[in-house]
Amino acid sequence: MREITYLEAVREAMSQEMRQNEDVFILGEDIGVYGGAFGVTRGMIEEFGPERVRNTPISEAAIAGAAVGSALTGMRPILELQFSDFITIAMDQIVNQAAKIRYMYGGKGKIPMVVRTPSGSGTGAAAQHSQSLEAWLAHIPGLKVIQPSTAYDAKGLLKSAMDDNNPVIFYEHKLLYRTIADVPEELYCIPLGQADVKREGTDVTVVATAVMVHRALEAAEELAKEGISVEVVDPRTLVPLDTETIINSVKKTGRVVVVHEAVKRGGYGGEIASMIAESEAFDYLDAPIKRLGGALSPVPYNPELEKAHAPQVNDIILATKQAMNKA
């Protein structure tokens, strides 16, 4: 197999799908000759032309709505929202329209659209360009929410998102764009709602999303040196959530740390922790469930402060040891 970056995997999935399905098109700000703010669509307008790679004005409400309206009438749009923070401006169309149309209309009409959007901190972009707001979207019935952590997952999950007949929010983490993995050349699907055990272990389960998967794996490597065996579970999709894989892992290890970059209060980790507590895994717990999340502040600019905002490898190591009563 050949190695490509996460960014290339996203582009390749879109391009391959667009070659075989003429209903699929992409719209967004600066996605034309500029190639998108992060370069994901670079080269696409040259291949597919300006009709199918539609460069839009800076109008998040209208372009989100145009995606919803075109999906309702037979297209399969991919909306690139330049930064996931800008979803605030597109929120009516995503939350009040896309998520609810099928239900409100009694099961008529479908909205097959993908909102691809870069999230997360670590780039120095400060408070309005660094958030992780996935819990907001996961809260809304009618939406699906995906957070791929590797290039392999990104390609397979994006294909499933494009095949899905519902509005899907596809979060791309900015720090992961340049990461490399073995990725098949052909298109393939990773089913939505299928978690991936990124590392097997026996002592503690760490449920981690997006960039935290990589930090959890690093922490696991360190902890292994101290004889602590960590299992890293990557849910990959928040909605639908593969509860079974998480529950089975916790039943095996009896200890769990949930870690995400999003602000801890109201973050999706709370949902995962509650789900575990409500499940049969509760009886297997040998320690309280631990949660790690972003600090209760906006994301700061200063690099040291920014780092302190999000959980780092050492935080995960510490939390894992606490779960083991070894801190």
Q: Which of 13, 26, 45, 101 binds another protein (CB under 8 A)?
A: 101
Please identify which of the residues 129, 173, 214, 260 carries the catalytic annotation: 129
Should residue 88 be labelled a site residue for another protein when binding is judged by CB under 8 A? no
| Residue 301: CB atoms within 10 Å | 12
Q: How far apart are CA 204 and CA 259, in angstroms?
A: 13
In the complex, minimum distance from the CB of residue 51 to another protein, in angstroms, rounded to a whole number: 7
Should residue 138 be labelled a site residue for another protein when binding is judged by CB under 8 A? no
Q: How far apart are CA 252 and CA 258, in angstroms?
A: 16
In the complex, minimum distance from the CB of residue 125 to another protein, in angstroms, rounded to a whole number: 24
Size of the site for another protein (CB under 8 A): 44
Buried b (16+ CB within 10 A) or exposed e, 51-74: ebbbbbeeebeebbbbbbbbbbee
Should residue 180 be labelled a site residue for another protein when binding is judged by CB under 8 A? no
Which positions from 9 to 28 touch another protein by CB under 8 A, shown as an x/- string?
----------------x---
CB 206 within 8 A of CB 315: no
Q: Which of 105, 188, 282, 301 binds another protein (CB under 8 A)?
A: 105
Amino acid at 308: A
Decide whether 140 or 158 has the Cβ nearer to another protein: 140
In the complex, minimum distance from the CB of residue 99 to another protein, in angstroms, rounded to a whole number: 9
Q: How far apart are CA 215 and CA 209, in angstroms?
A: 10
In the complex, minimum distance from the CB of residue 124 to another protein, in angstroms, rounded to a whole number: 29
Q: How far apart are CA 248 and CA 286, in angstroms?
A: 15
Q: How far apart are CA 171 and CA 81, in angstroms?
A: 10
Residue for token pair 């990104």: 154
User: Is 139 a known active-site residue?
Assistant: no
Should residue 193 be labelled a site residue for another protein when binding is judged by CB under 8 A? no
Q: Which of 31, 64, 138, 183 binds another protein (CB under 8 A)?
A: 64
Q: How far apart are CA 216 and CA 292, in angstroms?
A: 11
Decide whether 165 or 202 has the Cβ nearer to another protein: 165
Should residue 253 be labelled a site residue for another protein when binding is judged by CB under 8 A? no
Q: Which two tokens mark 314?
A: 């050492």
Q: Which of 36, 69, 235, 293 binds another protein (CB under 8 A)?
A: 69
Q: Which of 41, 84, 97, 150 binds another protein (CB under 8 A)?
A: 97
Say which residues have a Cβ less than 8 Å from residue 226's Cβ, sequence separation at least 6: none
Decide whether 69 or 267 has the Cβ nearer to another protein: 69
Q: Which stretch binds another protein (CB under 8 A): 2-10, 123-131, 138-146, 244-252?
A: 138-146
| Residue 125: CB atoms within 10 Å | 18
Q: Sign (positive/negative) of CA torsion 29, 11, 120, 145?
A: positive
Should residue 107 be labelled a site residue for another protein when binding is judged by CB under 8 A? yes
In the complex, minimum distance from the CB of residue 110 to another protein, in angstroms, rounded to a whole number: 4
Decide whether 5 or 70 has the Cβ nearer to another protein: 70
Decide whether 50 or 184 has the Cβ nearer to another protein: 50
> For the chain, what's the residue count?
327
Q: How far apart are CA 176 and CA 123, in angstroms?
A: 11
Q: Which of 3, 46, 47, 92 binds another protein (CB under 8 A)?
A: 92
Q: How far apart are CA 158 and CA 190, in angstroms?
A: 8
Q: How far apart are CA 151 and CA 11, in angstroms?
A: 11
CA 201 to chain CA centroid, nearest Å: 24
Q: Which sequence positions are flagged as catalytic?
A: 129
Which chain residues interact with another protein by CB under 8 A?
25, 51-52, 54, 56-57, 59, 61-75, 77, 92-93, 96-97, 101-112, 141-142, 144, 165-166
